[in-house]
Amino acid sequence: MIAFIIRRLLQAIVVMLTVALIAFTLFGFVGDPINMMVGIETSAQDRENLRQSLGLNDPVIVQFARFVTHAARLEFGSSYQFKTPVIDLIKDRFPATMELALASALFSLLIGIPMGVYTALHRRSVLSNVFLAASLIGISLPTFLIGILLIFLFPVTLGVLPSFGRGEVVHIGFWSTGLLTASGLKALVLPAVTLGLFQMTLIMRLVRGEMLEVLRTDYIKFARARGLTDHAVNFGHALKNTLVPVMTIAGLQLGSIIAFALITESVFQWPGMGLLFLKAVQNVDIPIMSAYLLLVAFIFVTINLIVDLLYAVVDPRIRIDARPA
Amino acid sequence: MATEASEAPLTRRPTRLASFLDSDVAYSFLHSRITIVAAIVALVIVAAALFAPVIATQDPYDLRQLSIIDSHIPPVWQADGDKRFLLGTDDQGRDVFSTILYGSRQSIAIGIVSTLFAAALGIALGLIAGYAGGAIDTVIMRAADIQSTFPAILIAMLIDGTSRALFGQQRHDNVVFWVMVLSIGLSFWVQYARTVRGSTLVEKSKDYVLAARLIGIRPGLILLRHVLPNVVGPVLVIATINLALAIITEATLSFLGLGLPSTQPSLGTLIQIGQKYLFAGEWWIAIFPGATLAALVLAVNLLGDWLRDALNPRLR
């Protein structure tokens, strides 16, 4: 087990270093950072001094090492657009993205699992077919289109629910939350549904598949033979066993929810990290781009690691790496 | 039945078309109503896009044909509709119907070319990784592992952002088609590479490969002529499903303002333009391109699902 943990940890570090290398290359490769920082009237001598003081004349490997140590201390430099430290910008917007991501993850689980169970238990019913057809449409529609359709349906046509922003927020320490005000909660509904719909269809299909598989096993037949009620068999025995893979996928999907949040944030003008990143890409604001990249990579790698480790705890077969290295 | 078939006169060999219609694939196609509908929808959209210059009532790229006076006109069946503009006009006075035709053209072209690019890259890397093994295999597959931890859309955005910085906005607009192909293609190669590597590992230990090596055929030729035809089946299925994904990715990037500019709009760009006017009650600018995009992607997805079931390869 310890060998397994160490191996996964090393892999995670390699991934992070690779992403750091990409982010670092972005800095050096795309435009001259000095030009981004100073005005046109700065003399060549001053530029050279600045270059020297920033360490841009050092060997590349030294620069990369410095970049990594700075990143580990969450120092990403200042944004070219806002002239403020990137980390402060991200800190401001981090809670908005997290609340959106968690709300949509919750939505997708609370709706997706019951739908999956229903479609598995009542395979031939009309409602199941409706659910399955709807899920195909849910997978086919791009996230931004779902958002626009929802805006068209609710705020525009029916005149309910806000279509942009976060509503009123309450500050608790550095965390700003919209969960404690009525307008904040209302503003959360449409973005969370937009972001969660795709995951919901995914979870529904997954639960359905796993349930169908489990319902065919011998211990379910045995449980029925013992005369247990349908309810006890379906929920006590079958559903419980489908939840392990579902939790894995749900965990892994949390990472992509955070990444995909940027599309939803753009549609609903939700003031999160994704919107910040988007503006950075449009304006070639490299410090924000590389910081966001590293942050998302870190979240992904951490979630992957936790899921892998949890899985290894649950299922001992996974600890042995069967793949030839 | 079997004897009857063998007794049939051999003089008339079945034509290619006839033998195709007799195959399992054709059978499952003709017996799945929803697949036929999907194929028709896809065909109609592709044909409309292909013949856009013939069908369209206006060339949206030709500024001389546009008039700002004609802007914001609702579809024909509404009170203020204009007979010249079937589905209304957008904020620049462009006919929505014509821009959808030209926009679908962009979307489909980028989707197909980037899917081909991703497939070619993935197949090549997968063949090399599987056949060479050792360090080359490890490097390629670890790169695939790392890339697959990121959502494709982020990678595409990053490549697009980098090229924006390298080219500058003006030149970026001129090469935007190829930038899109590159960024989408580079985000989707992993799945092909993994599948092809897996099947190459199986194929390379078979006798025909050994025989080819013994008579001294070069490895490149063995891969292209002998191994490739045997591993390409599952790739076809992945490519169809990825075509839908590529179209979605392109639309998303364009919607976010990172893809095609509004002077040469794709479906995603049109939806982005239309989003601004939703609240003014001008729903047609966003909703019609949106519906076209949804129909196209749904149809391609259904075809992909059918192809997967019909060919029934080992992946799922």
Asked whether B165 and B225 are in contact (CB, 8 A), the reply is no
- Check B287 against A297: CB less than 8 A apart: no
B261: domain CATH number? 1.10.3720.10
Alpha carbon distance A153, A161 (integer Å): 10
Q: Which residue of A has its CA nearest to B156?
A: A281
A/B interface, count of CB pairs below 8 Å: 110
Residues of B with CB under 8 A from a CB of A: 138, 142, 145-146, 149-151, 153-154, 157-158, 160-162, 164-166, 244, 248, 251-252, 255-258, 268, 271, 275, 278-279, 281, 283, 286-287, 290, 293-294, 297-298, 301-302
User: What mean pLDDT comes out for the span A164-189?
Assistant: 84
Q: How confident is the model over A51-70, as pLDDT tens digits?
A: 777 777 777 788 888 888 88
Q: Which residue of B has its CA nearest to A263?
A: B256
- Check A145 against B271: CB less than 8 A apart: yes
In a domain, B93, yes or no: yes
In a domain, B240, yes or no: yes
Report the number of distinct structural domains present in chain B: 1
**Cα→Cα distances A285→A55, A296, B164, Å:** 20, 17, 11
Nearest to B258 among A139, A156, A282 (CB): A282
Per CB-CB distance under 8 Å, the chain B contacts of A163 are 279
pLDDT at B67 over 80: no
Per CB-CB distance under 8 Å, the chain B contacts of A15 are 145-146, 149
In a domain, B268, yes or no: yes
pLDDT at A258 over 90: no
pLDDT at A161 over 60: yes
pLDDT band, very low/low/confident/very high, at B14 (cuts 50, 70, 90) = low
pLDDT at B15 over 90: no
Alpha carbon distance A176, A187 (integer Å): 14
Alpha carbon distance B87, B74 (integer Å): 7
Asked whether B150 and A293 are in contact (CB, 8 A), the reply is no
Alpha carbon distance B63, A241 (integer Å): 62
**Cα→Cα distances B232→A304, B123, B140, B313, B316, Å:** 31, 8, 19, 11, 16
In a domain, B260, yes or no: yes
Question: 3-class DSSP state for residue B173?
Answer: helix
Per CB-CB distance under 8 Å, the chain A contacts of B279 are 155-156, 163
DSSP sequence for A28-70: HHSS-HHHHHS-TT--HHHHHHHHHHHTTTS-HHHHHHHHHHH
Alpha carbon distance A295, A281 (integer Å): 16
Handedness of CA B131, B135, B140, B142 (dihedral sign): positive
In a domain, B221, yes or no: yes
What residue numbers bound the domain in which B205 lies? 70-315
pLDDT at A324 over 50: no
Residue for token digits 């169908």?
Answer: A212
**DSSP type of residue A175:** E
Q: How confident is the model over B298-316, as pLDDT tens digits?
A: 999 888 888 887 776 444 3
pLDDT at B107: 93
> Looking at chain B, which runs of residues are DSSP E strands?
none
pLDDT at A235 over 70: yes
Q: pLDDT averaged over chain B?
A: 83
pLDDT at A31: 60
CA distance A89 to chain B (A): 20
pLDDT band, very low/low/confident/very high, at B162 (cuts 50, 70, 90) = confident
pLDDT at B7: 47
pLDDT at B8 over 60: no
pLDDT at B40: 92
Q: Which amino acid is at A153?
A: L
Asked whether B243 and B112 are in contact (CB, 8 A), the reply is yes
In a domain, B60, yes or no: no
- Check A152 against B248: CB less than 8 A apart: no
User: What mean pLDDT comes out for the span A104-128?
Assistant: 91
- Percent of chain A exceeding pLDDT 70 equals 92
The structure's pTM equals 0.83
- Check A140 against B154: CB less than 8 A apart: no
Asked whether A12 and A305 are in contact (CB, 8 A), the reply is yes
Alpha carbon distance B40, B296 (integer Å): 11
User: What mean pLDDT comes out for the span A265-294?
Assistant: 87
**DSSP type of residue B64:** G
In a domain, B2, yes or no: no
Per CB-CB distance under 8 Å, the chain A contacts of B252 are 142-144, 263
| Residue A43 φ then ψ, to 5° | -75, 160
Alpha carbon distance A82, A93 (integer Å): 14
| E strand or H helix that includes residue B19 | helix B16-21
pLDDT at B315: 40
Q: ipTM score of the complex?
A: 0.80
What distance, in Å, lies between the first and last C-alpha atoms of chain A? Answer: 18
CA distance B258 to chain A (A): 7
In a domain, B50, yes or no: no
B71 vs B6, more confident: B71
